[in-house]
Amino acid sequence: MTENRSGAPRPTTAMVLAAGLGKRMRPITSTIPKPLVEIRGKALIDYGIEALARNGVTRVVVNVHYLADLLQAHLRRIKGVEIVISDEREALLESGGGIVKALPQLGSEPFFVINADTFWIDGYRDNLDLLAELWDPARMDVCLLIADMAQATGYDGNGDFVMDPEGRLRRVAERDMSPFIYAGAAIIKPEVFAGMVAEKFSLNRIFDQAIEADRLFGVRLDGLWLTVGTPQSIPAAEAAFVASAASAA
């Protein structure tokens, strides 16, 4: 297990949140779960798992609910990392509850969390490498990958957080705007879920808990963050890949 610049071990375990219904992606998701939607011939979830494996993750826990059999069949074909299924067929638990249910499989050390449909094009740095390198458990309970709106396509919200010069995050005040968006990847300490039960709740509860303790931090994404939320957003994401490849040539 390698250490980062703060002396902390880099995570070798990850949770991929893949149990959502993907309603906004219909009609494509009428027959396949959203993590299997393809961008340039590759399933969204494969991009995330490949990024995790590239950054030293050896065990990936994936929660499943909607069209779970199709997703499990796909995951069985993945090589190079151990894939563990957290089955939510009986009840969809959302992001927070899904992690609580999977905690016995995730272990006692900090772990990556990514959304199965998280999607970005790396710049000069591999973004999960950057997140792992800046992770500091002495100061942080949660560290989020944060995209600037200038680095995002397909996003039309008001932003999620404000960030101080040290990377500490706060919520955007009502009616205010911020350029900073949660990019769907994080490192989290398992201790933040202490005493919680596997019921339906969002990870936002954990983020707010970390904010109260001054222990929610963010790392700026290097590259381009792509919102792939509707069928209409797929061509834009594929075009961004082509443009990125052309600029790197």
For the question of whether the overall pTM of this predicted structure is more than 0.75, the answer is yes
In a domain, 50, yes or no: yes
Structure confidence by residue, pLDDT tens digits, 137-196: 999 999 999 998 877 766 667 778 999 999 999 998 777 777 899 999 999 999 999 999
Structure confidence by residue, pLDDT tens digits, 79-135: 999 999 999 999 999 999 999 999 999 999 999 999 998 788 898 889 999 999 999
Q: What is the 3-state secondary structure (H, E, C) of the chain?
A: CCECCCCCECCCEEEEECCCCCHHHCCHHHCCCHHHCEECCEEHHHHHHHHHHHCCCCEEEEEECCCHHHHHHHHCCCCCCEEEEEECCCCCCHHHHHHHHHHHHHCCCCEEEEECCCCEEECCCCHHHHHHHHCCCCCCCEEEEEEEHHHEECCCCCCCEEECCCCEEEECCCCCCCCEEEEEEEEECHHHHCCCCCCCCCCHHHHHHHHHCCCEEEEECCEEEECCCCCCHHHHHHHHHHHHHHHHC
- In this predicted structure, what is the pLDDT of residue 43? 93
Quickly state the pLDDT bin for 1 (edges 50, 70, 90): low
In a domain, 8, yes or no: no
In a domain, 3, yes or no: no
Quick one: how far is CA 221 from the chain centroid? Answer: 12
In a domain, 6, yes or no: no
Confirm if 77 and 62 have CB atoms less than 8 A apart: no
At 109, which CATH number?
Answer: 3.90.550.10
In a domain, 1, yes or no: no
Q: Pairing state of beta strands 59-64 and 13-17? A: parallel
Give the total number of structural domains in the chain.
1
Range of the domain at 54: 13-248
Between the alpha carbon of residue 148 and those of residues 133, 145, 183, 232, the distances in Å are 20, 10, 9, 22
- In this predicted structure, what is the pLDDT of residue 248? 57
In a domain, 2, yes or no: no
In a domain, 7, yes or no: no
Structure confidence by residue, pLDDT tens digits, 25-54: 899 899 999 999 998 889 999 999 999 999
Structure confidence by residue, pLDDT tens digits, 61-72: 999 999 999 999
In a domain, 31, yes or no: yes
